[in-house]
Amino acid sequence: QSDLTQPRSVSGSPGQSVTISCTGTSSDVGGYNSVSWYQQYAGKAPKLMLHDVSKRPSGVPERFSGSKSGNTASLTISGLQAEDEADYYCCSYAGSYNRLFGTGTTVTVL
């Protein structure tokens, strides 16, 4: 199985919105509502930002939102802030006990 496909990088100015896509297949993203998103700063452990496509854990700002259409899931950061500059990874259950991560996206705040 291949990693889920994400854009290598996205950028935006403070206050703008950016969207990161996560494209898989009907065997993973399209087949389950078990898509999650992680934020990772350099040298640090990943942090859960969204789960079950669009659910935010306690403490995650409301500007982070998620959606899914077909085989593509998306993470949107509205009202971009400087501290949002990080790497982001999607992850999906892929059946047969497998989990797949996305290729990762670097968010740059201009």
Q: In the complex, which residues of this chain contact other proteins (CB under 8 A)?
A: 1, 3, 32, 34, 36, 38, 40, 45-48, 51-52, 57, 89, 91-93, 97-104
CB closer to other proteins, 74 vs 92: 92
Q: How far is the CB of 62 from other proteins (least distance, A)?
A: 19
CB closer to other proteins, 85 vs 87: 87
User: In sequence order, what are the beta bridge partners of 20?
Assistant: 75
Q: How far is the CB of 9 from other proteins (least distance, A)?
A: 13
CB closer to other proteins, 8 vs 110: 8
CB closer to other proteins, 64 vs 89: 89
SS (H, E, C) the chain: CCCEECCCEEEECCCCCEEEEEECCCCCHHHCCCEEEEEECCCCCCEEEEECCCECCCCCCCCEEEEEECCEEEEEECCCCHHHCEEEEEEEECCCCCEEEECCEEEEEC
Q: How far is the CB of 13 from other proteins (least distance, A)?
A: 26
